[in-house]
Amino acid sequence: MTKAISPRTRKVRILATLGPASASPEMIAKLFEAGADAFRINMSHGDQASKVPLFEAIRGLEKKFGRPTTILADLQGPKLRVGKFADGKVQLVTGHEFILDRDKTPGDATRVELPHREIFEAAHENARLLLDDGKLVLRVLSVAPDRLTTIVEVGGPLSNNKGLNVPDMVLPLAALTEKDRSDLAFAVEQGADWIALSFVQRPEDLMEARRLIGGKAALLAKIEKPSAIARLDEIVEQCDGVMVARGDLGVELPPQTVPPLQKRIVETARRMGRPVIVATQMLESMIESPSPTRAEVSDVATAVYDGADAIMLSAESAAGKWPVESVAMMNSIADAVERDPAHGDRVHFTVLRPDPTTADALAEAAKNIAKTVSASGIACFTSSGSTARRIARERPAVPILVLTPHIDTARRLGLLWGVHAVHTRDVDSFEEMVAKSKRMALRHHIAASGDRVVLCAGVPFKTPGSTNVLHVVTLVGDELKNHPGKEGPDAI
């Protein structure tokens, strides 16, 4: 039986990562009720078979709560690691030389294998090599085809197969590994709505993933490499959405540079009409503690004030002791920020100039008309979701009710700011559009009897990209009484 749940009054979306602490259908439902709008399945951990129940449980929420659900499958990407040591662990001493080579012999305190030919090809003098999440720092003194001589700038213990970051290089390395290709095919087969691509260095990295997805999911680029920042506009242009992956950015770049970069990425994505997610360490202390630090609360609030489409929980909801509490806390922080009278001004810090198209002009007009006539919501019909993305880009002060005949479109919109998506039958006439918009606004509590709603659609109907109509209606409660049922067998 469908359990009624009111639309989120909060406009920023919450993306919760699933893991050992949140793998059961019961826990996933609790996360949804606590405020999670979408779920991230991390393909880095566990095998594909273990992910099938997660996909099924998330989709099961649609029947339970009567709302489309959103799944993001996050691909692992290439992992750079050093080889093994004869004793399993060594101590690198600051100021001493250390060699990275292609020799498979177990290493010692003077050398170790580096099993990545691409690094030798891209390395140059003075480049930094960061080991173990940046805890150790090497600087390249000289480069040979199979040997890098470095100086240890920051020493410490180094054990087998520790990770390596190369912030000063653009590697001739594909963003997709064989594991990623297999995981991508699996995720698409399972019905993932978004595929997140790791290790994006350049816009060309997105092309293979786009081809393999074949239009069956949206493509999200994780911005986690300094080289990606250098070509940010081009990368954003080539993807459907962006993630500010602050974990790796904070390893490869000085930590003080990450906050302004976060704002720059959010601003770029918003300007180009792509949803943007802020991720990593948002409520990190809640992995162990039932309450966050004041600094973490401020961090989440900043992302909401900046107008991010979504904010993400990682280990907090995947492996922490307080997964439901973490989602509830993020929900309450976002609610408090959006109730701040200054939020409406702060969220428009990005100067947006609509493209010279009818659709963009109408999206901007819909926001302004809704404000002028004190409308309670904006309703739009969309086939591909492009109308919804244009309206959400404007960050209107009212909810956006999106009606679509395509369930995959409704699901993908779960990461979009302010959107309440409804899967329903299409309309064949302007009059039917008006009547259905009014009924759905009442039924989904976007507006009440006597309220105004701004309608946005395209004529002729069923033509993607034809948005060309704005219409303001006043709701009457009797309209819902006259049409109490669902809009069809596929309505959610």
Q: How far apart are CA 408 and CA 421, in angstroms?
A: 11
User: Nearest CA to 166 among 222, 120, 102?
Assistant: 120
Indicate if 149 belongs to the active site.
Answer: no
Q: How far apart are CA 250 and CA 226, in angstroms?
A: 10
User: Nearest CA to 62 among 444, 407, 436?
Assistant: 407
The set of residues, in sequence order, having a beta carbon less than 8 Å from that of 413 and lying 6+ positions away, is 68, 70, 385, 388, 402, 404, 419, 421
3-class DSSP state for residue 88?
Answer: coil
Write down the H helix ranges in 310-372: 315-318, 323-339, 343-346, 358-372
Tokens of residue 367, six digits? 């926001």
Choose the catalytic residue: 8, 10, 13, 40.
40
In one-letter notation, the amino acid at residue 44 is S
Total Cβ atoms within 10 A of residue 151: 14
Q: What angle do CA 286, 275, 399 make, to 5 degrees?
A: 85
Choose the catalytic residue: 222, 389, 390, 412.
222
Q: Kind and range of the H or E element at 40?
A: strand 38-42
Indicate if 339 belongs to the active site.
Answer: no
3-state secondary structure 186-228: HHHHHCCCEEEECCCCCCCHHHHHHHHHCCCCEEEEEECCHHH
Choose the catalytic residue: 81, 84, 210, 346.
81
Choose the catalytic residue: 280, 387, 404, 467.
280
CA 69 to chain centre: 14
Q: How far apart are CA 349 and CA 336, in angstroms?
A: 19
Indicate if 81 belongs to the active site.
Answer: yes
Residues catalogued as catalytic: 40, 81, 222, 280
